[in-house]
Amino acid sequence: MNNFKIINWLVWLVLVIIWNYGYPEASPLLDVIIAVILSFVSIILMRFIKK
């Protein structure tokens, strides 16, 4: 399970980086909102996998 947490975090990080490079014109507020949304998706995925 610990390996899955690390992989999950790395996927989240890669998605945030892709977002930042894919949409450089996005405002800082939008960057934060997307990072938070991706974080919630990551948390939900972790809970789903635990079951």
pLDDT tens digits for range 1-51: 678 888 888 999 999 999 999 999 999 999 999 999 999 999 898 888 876
Instruction: Please tell me the predicted confidence (pLDDT) of residue 51.
Output: 66
Instruction: Please tell me the predicted confidence (pLDDT) of residue 48.
Output: 85
Instruction: Please tell me the predicted confidence (pLDDT) of residue 1.
Output: 63
Torsion of CA 7, 11, 44, 25, to 10 degrees: 160
For 1-51, the three-class secondary structure string (H helix, E strand, C coil) is CHHHHHHHHHHHHHHHHHHHHHCCCCCHHHHHHHHHHHHHHHHHHHHHHHC
Instruction: Please tell me the predicted confidence (pLDDT) of residue 38.
Output: 92
Give the list of residues 6+ apart from residue 30 with CB closer than 8 angstroms, or none. Answer: 23
Instruction: Please tell me the predicted confidence (pLDDT) of residue 50.
Output: 75
Both tokens of 33, joined, read: 């909102």
